[in-house]
Amino acid sequence: MALAPTWRAARVTPLGELHTPPRMTAVLLRLTVQVVLVWSLWRGLYAQTGTTAGLSRDQAVTYAVLAVLASRLRELDQYAGRDTVLQHMHFGTIVYWYLRPLPPQRYYALRALGEQLYGFAWALTGYVVCLCLGVVEPPGSAAVAGVFALSLLLGQWVLYYVMLVIDQLCFWTLRNGAAMLILVFAQNLLSGVYAPLWFFPGWFITLSAFLPFQATLSVPLSIYVGRIELADAWLQLAVQVGWIVVLALFTRLLWRRAARRVVSQGG
């Protein structure tokens, strides 16, 4: 198959967004409201204190706003495009993923890549606006910015595999709606979207260290705000790479097992 037709798979969900202006307007409005509310909340929480849990007010506000912006990397409406694994399993169209010249695992990866690039455009635009308005602080140095960018890339890679595992469960459960709701809540809680993990009890922080969720967001944002020093960042990057390897091997095994469960009838 030619390279260009192959890479067109990455445009599936983003094109659905771009061809629906009201949906884009709603995303812009929601993102703006979230940023304003989070900024107001954390500034209010720090009104009577200077430093809490090792974070200053500016660090906490920057962390919280960046967490909101980073959420745009994986919040596209796949259901509107009727291209989720759940929908394909429900309507029986998942079989076409295995009849195309393009392998299903490559199609899934390309589609996720397109989604993340589209979401990155939203996040980057929001970041530049917030930086110009003084809502978030700039990184401490060019080195911090570079390590943060690398960690964010690795974190999104980990998140891709986590989401893939949940989607692959459909081959055995047919529906993953409940699992997806649980995953979204666990991901937001254990990755530090709702609040930095340092505000939680010690046992909660220890538990999250054994799960891949904090590697998706908490680690890169901690590097950005200076909670994780550059000297310690390389260990965290190694942990992220470790999760990528483990989840990649696991999902590869699940793809092979899933192929055995797909049956094509007719000519």
Six token digits for residue 267: 């000519």
What's the confidence (pLDDT) of residue 191?
Answer: 87
Residue showing tokens 């992220």: 240
Tell me whether residue 267 is in a domain: no
What's the confidence (pLDDT) of residue 267?
Answer: 42
What's the confidence (pLDDT) of residue 166?
Answer: 84
Number of domains into which the chain is organized: 1
Tell me whether residue 265 is in a domain: no
Give the three-state DSSP class for 52.
Answer: strand
Tell me whether residue 264 is in a domain: no
- Where b means 16+ CB within 10 Å and e means fewer, 170-182 reads bbeeeebeebbee
For 8-62, write each residue's pLDDT tens digit.
777 777 777 778 788 788 888 988 999 999 999 888 888 777 777 677 888 889 9
Give the three-state DSSP class for 135.
Answer: coil
Closest-CA residue to 257 (of 182, 165, 181, 178):
165
Residue showing tokens 């999104």: 156
Q: Residue 192: left if φ>0, alpha if ψ -120 to 50, beta else—which one?
A: left
CB distance 149 to 58 below 8 Å = no
Structural domain that includes position 183: 3-259
Q: Which residues, at least 6 apart from 195, have a Cβ–Cβ distance to it below 8 Å? A: 64
Tell me whether residue 213 is in a domain: yes
Q: Which residues of the chain have pLDDT under 50?
A: 1-2, 266-267
Q: What is the distance between the alpha carbons of residues 75 and 193, in angstroms, rounded to a whole number?
A: 14
Tell me whether residue 197 is in a domain: yes
What's the confidence (pLDDT) of residue 174?
Answer: 64
| Mean pLDDT, rounded, of the chain | 84
Tell me whether residue 12 is in a domain: yes
What's the confidence (pLDDT) of residue 5?
Answer: 61
What's the confidence (pLDDT) of residue 266?
Answer: 47
What's the confidence (pLDDT) of residue 48?
Answer: 75
Tell me whether residue 248 is in a domain: yes
Q: What is the distance between the alpha carbons of residues 257 and 21, in angstroms, rounded to a whole number?
A: 40
